[in-house]
């Protein structure tokens, strides 16, 4: 008798029987709570979906079982008795839009595409986290109508600095997908490592993926992804409506490639894969046609691995000292009547873009304001600390699309509180500062209509494994998800703080090594 009494009390405390304010992240655009409840009876609960939505239906079925022990079965569109329906409506004004309606009789998720259905499932899941009565097997009624503010919502990992096994990347995709991120940007090459197999250039991984130590620790570090590894990740992520953006960072940040093939740089010194952070003056040579043949071959192979149209080519932090002295670079500048090494940089990207266009790819670039011009089809990244407004204004004038990932709001390698610094130059980036991120930087709408989205960057110099990556990402990525998805009028720091208890609890149950936002609570 005592055990039964205890169960009733726990059930009452843990699962409210009336609808509370929603705790969905990112915040939906329209939420209308209903008085009636949907009761889960007559197991298994049928889920109606056509064949094109089989993965989404199966995914929902697994979530219901995992979160609440609800048993369901997937049935065909011809079955009229289903109580959960997944419906496509291509007339919705956004492919990622969805509507979730819970009535007394049924649950209907309508999406503008499979992505919309998937995001509706995420919102249903999060609604049930806070509005499901386990005792009565009932979920509160609601109508949610929602679509993203921006089409580009990304997180970036940097396995070039510290290799992250592909199964760990899949775990990362699982978590980001439930917060409606739709792109994972992988920084696959840098001075400290080349991480992707290129069959025509085996030394890139034989030599370029190994370094003797890391910043004086005396421990060798290595690892790379086969093309088959990446194809498997691409397929896994695509099911969860996440596309993988590869990055080969050029012409700077290329010491690992140069260590493998010294002819790629201006002065053929035999370099070793870099073991420390900071910037190298050893670039790919801008006057050597062998460099462009190499890059054409690399892009040719990677185009078969990564089917998306977006291909990041780096472009940041490339000191031009060697280009100013290199005979080949100077000859090329004279032939083309280029007035500066910066103009040679513009030429360099035009040549790389020719290779991308053969595969219907478009370049994504870390925007450097001193480069005169980039290929017309480029998407710029506003990343430098304190220069976002200037980047927004200049990219619009030059006709580029723009992704906003400014250091003051979106650099997730920055520490989250004082005392957590891994090096003394990094500013602190607390959760509230991420939440304050407004991609337009309060500029007028007519001056910011070229902004297509947001991204958080997690540079990997001090991110040694996936648990550290999770710790630095969550819950800050929840804040960023609202900057990318939710309309500005629907965002509230106080309401967001009130959602943290539910979401951090769920991350804990999912085995995600998040950072507890202790600064939000009175201890």
DSSP letter, residue 232: H
Mark whether 80 is an active-site residue.
no
Within 13 Å of residue 457, how many CA atoms lie on the same side as its CB? 19
Mark whether 289 is an active-site residue.
no
DSSP letter, residue 31: E
Q: How far apart are the first and last CA of the chain?
A: 37
Indicate which residue of 56, 96, 190, 210 is catalytic: 190
Burial state string for 100-132 with b = 16 or more CB within 10 A and e = fewer than 16: bbbeeeebbbbbbbbbbbbbbbbbbbbbbbbbb
193 has which bridge partners? Answer: 190
Q: What DSSP assignment string belongs to 386-428?
A: T-HHHHHHHHHHHT-EEEE--HHHHBTTS-SSTT--SSTTPPP
Indicate which residue of 22, 241, 253, 409 is catalytic: 253
Indicate which residue of 168, 229, 297, 317 is catalytic: 317
Check the CA dihedral 429-431-432-433 and report its sign.
Answer: positive
* Farthest-apart Cα atoms in the chain, separation: 92
Distance CA 455, CA 412 (A): 10
Distance CA 215, CA 277 (A): 7
Structure tokens at 193: 């490592």
Q: What DSSP assignment string belongs to 325-387?
A: H-HHHHHHHHHHT--SHHHHHHHHHHHHHHHHHHTT-EEEEE--TTS----TT-EEEE-STT-
Distance CA 414, CA 435 (A): 15
Mark whether 89 is an active-site residue.
no
Active site residues: 190, 253, 317
């Amino acid at each position: 008798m005592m055990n039964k009494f205890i169960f009733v009390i726990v059930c009452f405390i843990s699962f409210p029987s009336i609808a509370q304010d929603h705790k969905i992240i990112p915040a939906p655009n329209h939420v209308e709570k209903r008085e009636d409840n949907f009761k889960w009876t007559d197991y298994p609960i049928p889920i109606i979906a056509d064949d094109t939505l089989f993965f989404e239906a199966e995914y929902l079925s697994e979530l219901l079982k995992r979160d609440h022990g609800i048993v369901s079965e997937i049935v065909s569109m011809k079955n009229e008795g289903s109580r959960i329906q997944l419906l496509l409506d291509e007339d919705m004004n956004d492919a990622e839009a969805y509507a979730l309606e819970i009535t007394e009789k049924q649950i209907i998720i309508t999406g503008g595409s499979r992505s919309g259905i998937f995001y509706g499932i995420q919102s249903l899941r999060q609604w049930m986290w806070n509005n499901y009565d386990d005792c009565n097997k009932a979920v509160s009624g609601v109508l949610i109508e929602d679509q993203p503010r921006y089409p580009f919502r990304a997180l970036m990992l940097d396995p070039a600095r510290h290799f992250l096994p592909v199964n760990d990347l899949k775990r990362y995709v699982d978590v980001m997908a439930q917060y409606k991120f739709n792109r994972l940007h992988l920084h696959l090459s840098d001075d400290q490592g080349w991480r992707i197999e290129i069959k025509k250039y085996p030394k890139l991984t034989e030599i370029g993926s190994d370094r003797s130590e890391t910043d004086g620790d005396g421990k060798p570090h290595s690892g790379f992804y086969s093309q088959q590894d990446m194809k498997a990740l691409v397929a896994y992520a695509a099911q969860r409506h996440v596309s993988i953006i590869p990055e080969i960072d050029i012409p700077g940040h290329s010491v690992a490639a140069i260590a493998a093939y010294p002819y790629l740089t201006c002065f053929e010194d035999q370099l070793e894969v870099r073991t420390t952070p900071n910037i190298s003056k050893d670039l790919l040579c801008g006057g050597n046609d062998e460099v462009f043949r190499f890059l054409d071959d690399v892009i040719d192979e990677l185009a078969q691995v990564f089917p998306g149209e977006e291909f990041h080519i780096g472009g940041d932090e490339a000191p031009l000292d060697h280009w100013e002295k290199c005979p080949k670079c100077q000859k090329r500048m004279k032939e083309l009547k280029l007035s500066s090494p910066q103009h040679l940089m513009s030429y360099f990207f035009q040549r790389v873009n020719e290779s991308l266009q053969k595969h219907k790819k478009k370049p994504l670039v870390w925007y450097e304001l001193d480069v005169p011009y980039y290929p017309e089809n480029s998407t710029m990244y506003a990343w430098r600390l304190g220069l976002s407004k200037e980047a927004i204004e200049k990219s619009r004038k030059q006709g580029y699309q723009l992704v906003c990932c400014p250091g003051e709001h979106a650099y997730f390698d920055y520490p989250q509180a004082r005392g957590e610094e891994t090096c003394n130059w990094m500013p602190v980036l607390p959760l509230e500062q991420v939440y304050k991120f407004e991609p337009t930087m309060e500029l007028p709408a007519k001056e910011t209509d070229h902004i297509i989205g947001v991204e958080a960057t997690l540079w990997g110099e001090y991110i040694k494994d996936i648990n550290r990556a999770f710790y630095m990402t969550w819950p800050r990525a929840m804040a960023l998800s609202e900057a990318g998805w939710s309309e500005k009028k629907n965002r509230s720091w106080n309401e967001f703080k009130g959602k943290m208890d539910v979401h951090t609890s769920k991350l804990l149950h999912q085995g995600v090594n998040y950072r507890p936002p202790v600064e939000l609570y009175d201890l």
